[in-house]
Amino acid sequence: MTETKVGNFSAQSAASGVDQALQPGTKIGEYQIERELGRGGMGAVYAARHPIIGKRVAIKVLDASFSRDGALVQRFLDEARAVNKIGHPNIIDVFSFGQLPDGRQYFVMEFLEGETMAAWLGRGRPDIAEARRLLLQVCEALEAAHREGIIHRDLKPENLWIARPKHGEPFMKVLDFGIAKLVEPEAATNITKTGTIMGTPQYMSPEQCTGRGVDHRTDVYSLGVIMFQIFCGRLPFDDGSVAEIMSAHLTKAPPRPGEFAAISPGMESLLLSCLDKNPANRPASAAELGLRLKDAAVVGGVVTAMQAPFRRTDEASAATKKGFATGLPTLLAGSEETKGEVPKKHIRLVLVSAAVVVAAFGLWLALRGGKAQVTAPVESPPQSATTPALVPPTMPEPPPVKVEAAGSDREPTPTPAVSHPVRPSARPRPAKNVDTVTPVKGKPSRAARQGLIQENPF
């Protein structure tokens, strides 16, 4: 691969007024361009690689015409600053920034294998359970951005990247904070200089169409449009010109989702609340939207149960800190809980568990029915440290016959033999409660008989 210096085409690009694409081998900073990944309204994105360690990156280059606009350059810089301020794993990471010799601005970001959500939806109706898992990750990323005072303002399937790594399951990355609004006094004036009516018409909130009162709930509206597209297979407003679409967001009620897909009333209520014209009637935060979406039970591609639509702001705030996109409930476990009540599914689970325990105990008693008589354990004799080998019992030898003295006329009388065998393991046991030290009263001890001690007469 030959290296092409950026300066070779900078003069030609400036003279023609048309940006020249970066050719393979062009060196930008520490990286060499491999190919162009895509092109948007404000620039192009290239795949590049470090020539020594082989690390792959993506380089976003702002067009020369926009690079001469100070406000747009500042917005380009704000994108790199915003994603690093958020620092969330579901948001693209930007780690370098610079300027080409022809004046074009660029920044270097992580390279991701995969596809956009737009390409994923273009292949037909997606798997609802997988879409639900990815949408929860988008909610977590948006909540993290909103906590840092950053509003995306251009959410659409083209800016949601489904990363497919070599190892592990696919995950979501939110891209393109290029028109993100920093909710800070010094940043607000910078945005309004170039106008606030920016975004993609099909996904813009009513307040974004008018350019007034934009806050974090505009991202909730845009994500609601994306959810409507996923669950219903179409956009709520997609007919006519750009002006007609924006007018529909402002004045026209969205169609009922149940007209386009088999969807539960609870899920339909969630989608319509996200698309409400009044921001106060939408989910109060991306975290609350994520919790309500998480509680939906999906069976066979159809949402069958849904969380009751009440405010869960405090719960959403606490759940977001530990990540609510993890630990998804079982798909068959529908949610019927309401605020301040114990979920019925938990009560059913406890009753079923108790019935199983009782049945198991009854079976155990039935199996032990023939062994109802309980005998006391037999106390075994103390064993020595080393257990001797067992020897089969043998009959004891008869005792010797006593022979009378010589000259006696009587016949010798043999001692009768024992009629039962003696077990060699039987050992004499001492009598209980017998003091073996104190001598028996009336009999002098051996020491007394030998004159060593004097017995106490009392």
Whether the CB-CB separation of 187 and 172 falls below 8 Å is answered with: no
**Alpha carbon 270 to chain centroid distance?**
23
Q: Give, in degrees to the nearest 5, the angle at Cα 166 between 164 and 171.
A: 30
CA distances from 3 to 32, 157, 248 (A): 8, 35, 51
Record the tokens describing residue 431, joined without a space: 């009598």
Query: How far apart, in whole angstroms, are the C-alpha atoms of residue 211 and residue 213?
Result: 7
| Exposure b/e, 211-245, CB count within 10 A at least 16 = b | eeebebbbbbbbbbbbbbbbbbeebbbeeeeeeeb
Nearest partner of 42 among 196, 204, 176, judged by Cα: 176
Whether the CB-CB separation of 45 and 21 falls below 8 Å is answered with: no
Q: Give, in degrees to the nearest 5, the angle at Cα 377 between 373 and 380.
A: 150
Whether the CB-CB separation of 274 and 220 falls below 8 Å is answered with: yes
Q: Give, in degrees to the nearest 5, the angle at Cα 106 between 101 and 109.
A: 140
Record the tokens describing residue 49, joined without a space: 């690689």
Record the tokens describing residue 182, joined without a space: 């920093």
Provide the total of helices (H) and of strands (E) in the chain, helices listed first: 14, 13
- Is 399 exposed, middle or buried, given 0-12, 13-18 or 19+ CB atoms closer than 10 A? exposed
Query: How far apart, in whole angstroms, are the C-alpha atoms of residue 203 and residue 218?
Result: 10
Contacts of 278 (CB under 8 A, 6+ apart): none
Show which residues are catalytic: 154
Query: How far apart, in whole angstroms, are the C-alpha atoms of residue 53 and residue 14?
Result: 34
- DSSP-derived secondary structure letter, 302: E
